[in-house]
């Protein structure tokens, strides 16, 4: 029997659909975290105090539209996921889906820490590499940022072909657990994936990308014209080779407004309700 662990609502839905089409939905349960581990503090996340600190940061800095991070709901849901992981029997093969991004790779390390006292075989699926090998086309540079971008049909083929499914040995697991312990002892709120490592970076790491996107907008439409905030965030997101989510980028846009780098017009309570322009 196998249990799948994934990171994100979209990949959980897609994988469940793929397993259903293979008549394996009841035999192979899917456990998922509805979270984004590339952003927000990971300090002592394996403890209640760490989760409380993470929740507080999310509530303070992310848009109020991000309903997941209302405190009671987030803690309750997170605790439910932890309980499901704790209940995995020793006979199950644990399959962890993790693309080449800081979100899923941080999640992989976290889950291995949670399972450190269990003897279950662990299989890591590099979904980014599997997608590249199975569906990549010559002379076309395209890669998925995270597993949630991969549709059910492709996920099914990855399972059928066992593409980039690799059993982790004890040495590898120990190393990844140690990397989690390092992440959990740091108060960083932003991480990127670089040279096959999760790296902590300053929270303003993507500010230059936001300003560059705004500069392109002004070149096309004039320096006095306003850009819808949601449109600007979308423009930034499409040019990133890191997966951090649009909520984080909008948080940084609001921070730049507070710093006077941007002017804003409209209510900042919702990204759909305001426009921005560089303050130059």
Tens of each residue's pLDDT in the chain, 280 residues? 899 999 999 999 999 999 999 999 999 999 999 999 999 999 999 999 999 899 889 888 887 555 554 556 778 889 999 999 999 998 899 999 999 999 999 999 999 999 999 999 999 999 999 999 999 877 766 678 899 999 999 999 999 999 999 999 999 999 999 999 999 999 999 999 999 999 999 999 999 999 999 999 999 998 889 999 999 999 999 889 999 988 999 999 999 999 999 999 999 888 889 999 998 7
Q: Does the reported pTM lie above 0.85?
A: yes
Residue 223 is predicted with a pLDDT of: 85
The CA distance from 279 to 253, in Å, is: 13
Alpha-carbon distances, residue 227 vs 214, 238, 249 (angstroms): 8, 16, 15
The whole-number pLDDT of residue 69 equals 47
- Spell out the SS3 assignment of the chain: CEEEEEECHHHHHHHHHHHHHCCCCCCCCEEEECCCCCECCCCCCCCHHHHHHHHHHHHHHCCCCCHHHCHHHHHHHHHHHHHHHHCCCCCCEEEEECCCCHHHHHHHHHHHHHCCCCCCCEEEECHHHHHHHHHCCCCCCCCCCCHHHCCHHHHHHHHHHCCCEEECCHHHHHHHHHHHHHHCCCCCCEEEEECCEEEECCCCCCHHHHHHHHHHHHHHHCCCCCEEHHHHHHHHHHHCCCCCCHHHHHHHHHHHHHCCCEEEEECCCCHHHEEEEECC
- pLDDT for the residue numbered 140: 65
């Amino acid at each position: 029997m196998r249990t799948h662990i994934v990171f994100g609502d979209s990949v959980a839905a897609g994988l469940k659909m793929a397993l259903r089409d293979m008549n394996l939905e009841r035999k192979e349960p899917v456990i998922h975290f509805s979270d984004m581990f590339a952003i927000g503090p990971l300090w002592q996340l394996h403890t209640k105090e760490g989760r409380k600190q993470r929740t507080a940061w999310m509530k303070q800095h992310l848009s109020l539209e991000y309903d997941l991070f209302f405190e009671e709901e987030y803690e309750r849901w997170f605790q439910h996921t932890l309980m499901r992981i704790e209940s995995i029997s020793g006979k199950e093969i644990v399959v962890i889906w993790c693309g080449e991004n800081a979100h899923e790779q941080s999640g992989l390390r976290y889950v291995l820490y949670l399972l450190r006292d269990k003897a279950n075989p662990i299989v890591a699926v590099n979904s980014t590499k599997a997608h590249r090998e199975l569906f990549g086309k010559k002379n076309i540079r395209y890669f998925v940022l995270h597993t949630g971008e991969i549709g059910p049909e492709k996920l099914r083929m990855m399972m059928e072909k066992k593409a980039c499914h690799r059993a982790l040995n004890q040495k590898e697991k120990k190393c990844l657990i140690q990397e989690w312990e390092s992440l959990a002892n740091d108060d960083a709120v932003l991480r990127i994936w670089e040279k096959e490592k999760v790296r902590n970076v300053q929270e303003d790491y993507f500010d230059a990308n936001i300003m560059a996107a705004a500069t392109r907008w002004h070149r096309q439409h004039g320096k006095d014209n306003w850009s819808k905030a949601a449109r600007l965030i979308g423009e930034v997101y499409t040019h990133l080779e890191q997966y951090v989510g649009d909520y984080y980028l909008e948080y940084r846009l609001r921070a730049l407004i507070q710093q006077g780098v941007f002017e804003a017009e409209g209510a900042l309570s919702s990204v759909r309700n305001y426009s921005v322009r560089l303050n130059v």
